[in-house]
A and B are shown apart, each in its own frame.
Chain A
Amino acid sequence: MSTWDRFAETFFNAKVMHRYLPDILSGVVVTIELALLVVATGIGAGLALALLRSLGIRPLNWLIIGVVDLFRSLPPLVVIVLIYFGLPSAGLAPSGFVSTWLSLAFVLMAFSEEIFWAGITSVDRGQWEAARSTGLSFGQTLMNVVLPQAFRLAIPPLTNRTIAITKGTALGTVVAVTEILGQASSAMSNSYNPSPLMMGAAAYLVLFLPVVVAARFIETRFAWKR
């Protein structure tokens, strides 16, 4: 048996791969569900917080900054563990799936709030003044003049952050979420063979490469001719 054969036998074992393919595929479904939920709620909540912050109500802003800084500094894994093992003592018992979703959504909310806020504040003051001088209200100016420009600035860092945090769905393994990595590692221990892990890696590539490409497409779409 050549070295290459031994390598292939270990990492790309056709029999093992065939056997555990259904498990990996069900893991892909869970990962997609989790990722979509995290992205929708995390970015939605982040944008909502940034808009609330633009109202300039000081005590509210302190609260927003506090929450955002907290979730930006905690490792997502710690948040998952806290929610999964901590909330039951408060009478709530979220599943591993819900714990992972909430944790990653909070973290993405925190980062996207900062990104949206940075976008909003970097729009030139003159844009506000011009719009207000024609009679647009604060809200109309924010929605029609400032946010479209803020989005354009926010999209590259936002897509980066979204991809990084969405990959964090793999952290769900520690609280028994049967997503890709969870399925792959249990298949690996059951088969005494790392091939399922390779399948898991392939599944992540298949899932996230299109996201990265889509992000690039969105970035070019939102750029306007200067």
Chain B
Amino acid sequence: MVCALQAVAGRGPRRPRRAYGFMNGPMVDARAVHKHFGALHVLKGVDLRVAERELVFVIGPSGSGKSTLLRCLNRLEEPSSGSVVVDGIDILDPRTDINHARQRIGMVFQSFNLYPHMTALGNVTLALRLVAGKSRGEAEALGRAALERVGLADRAGHTPGQLSGGQQQRVAIARAIALEPRVMLFDEPTSALDPELVGSVLEVMRALRESGMTMIVVSHEMGFARNAADRVVFMDAGAIVEEGPPAAIFERPAHERTRAFIGQIQRH
């Protein structure tokens, strides 16, 4: 398992390389991304461009490749081919210092993945100290500010086991935004939560969106998508079937597969 994770990891510290020079490109520019897991062809040439301050929702049946696409954007998954440029940095270039680049790409996971042996503040400050090179004092000030933003300033000293699922996910969001990322990736952030805890997480995400954060969200929270997303992307079988404004995708899907999928999730 560790070996597999190593393959995911970039090696060797190198300076980030600006692929765009001084031109103003999209915040996220993924082109012709393919991903094979052995014989399984999970992503079949996906193109995804996300502008600065845009919130893009990615929906689709399970196994459609939406999580894999998200994980290719910060190279947690190494695409088999294609290109991924985030904030002008070529993520797949072996000369790119991926650990440095990842500070700009926050990620929130379905299962929170908080470090259970640390307090909420410890979770938020770890990368600030080790990656961003802040002193303990600076890191704690930034960490407390991040916890404040997700409404958990009073839980700084609690360990994950003492927090509810919704609070844990908000700490996870604080852990990512403390590094001041340029884009945030959300991988089904509310799927593991009890229904009554979903609202608090969505509220934090809405505030984040209002602060101008570029966000890519894999989720089936249709209500949230409807009033917060700029664009909805529907994926099926490793490819983008169609995309457009939420109203268009939800009310007048052009493709039969989209219509079937939307119909299915709205019935629930």
Contact = CB atoms under 8 A, between A and B. Distances in A.
Contacts of B102: 132-135
Interface stretch (B49-57, B107-115, B219-227, B236-244): B107-115
**Chain A interface residue bracket vs B:** 20 to 34
A137 to B, nearest CB: 5
B100 A144 contact: no
B5 A132 contact: yes
B113 A134 contact: no
Contacts of B115: 127, 130-131, 145, 149
Interface string A114-157: 00000011001111111111111110100011001100100000
Contacts of B254: none
A225 interface: yes
A136 B101 CA distance: 11
A152 B131 CA distance: 25
Interface string B147-178: 00000000000010110000000001001100
A4 interface: no
A126 B50 CA distance: 26
Given A126-B111, A152-B117, A226-B116, A138 B9 contact: yes
Nearest to B101: A135
A224 interface: yes
B113 A137 contact: no
A135 B117 contact: no
A117 to B, nearest CB: 9
A54 interface: yes
A55 B130 contact: no
Nearest to B178: A134
A59 interface: no
A136 B99 contact: yes
B2 interface: yes
B74 interface: yes
A129 B113 contact: yes
A130 B76 CA distance: 10
B24 interface: no
B260 interface: no
B130 A140 contact: yes
- Interface majority SS on A: helix, strand, loop or mixed? helix
Given A130-B114, A136-B130, A149-B117, A224 B159 contact: yes
**Chain B interface residue bracket vs A:** 35 or more
A124 B2 contact: no
Contacts of B172: 130
Closest 10 CB pairs of A and B: A56-B3, A130-B113, A134-B127, A226-B161, A126-B113, A135-B131, A133-B107, A135-B102, A135-B103, A135-B99
Contacts of A130: 107, 109, 113-115, 172, 175
Contacts of B126: 131, 134, 136, 144-145
Given A134-B127, A225-B159, A124 B8 contact: no
Contacts of B116: 149, 224, 226
A129 to B, nearest CB: 6
Interface string B1-38: 11101101100000000000000000000000000000
23 contacts: A56-B3, A58-B3, A124-B113, A127-B115, A129-B109, A129-B113, A130-B114, A130-B115, A131-B126, A134-B106, A134-B127, A134-B131, A134-B179, A135-B99, A135-B102, A135-B103, A135-B127, A136-B99, A145-B115, A149-B116, A149-B117, A225-B159, A226-B116
B218 interface: no
B120 interface: no
A132 B117 contact: no
B235 interface: no
Of B6, B101, B113, most A-chain CB atoms within 10 Å: B113
Interface in A20-74: 54-56, 58
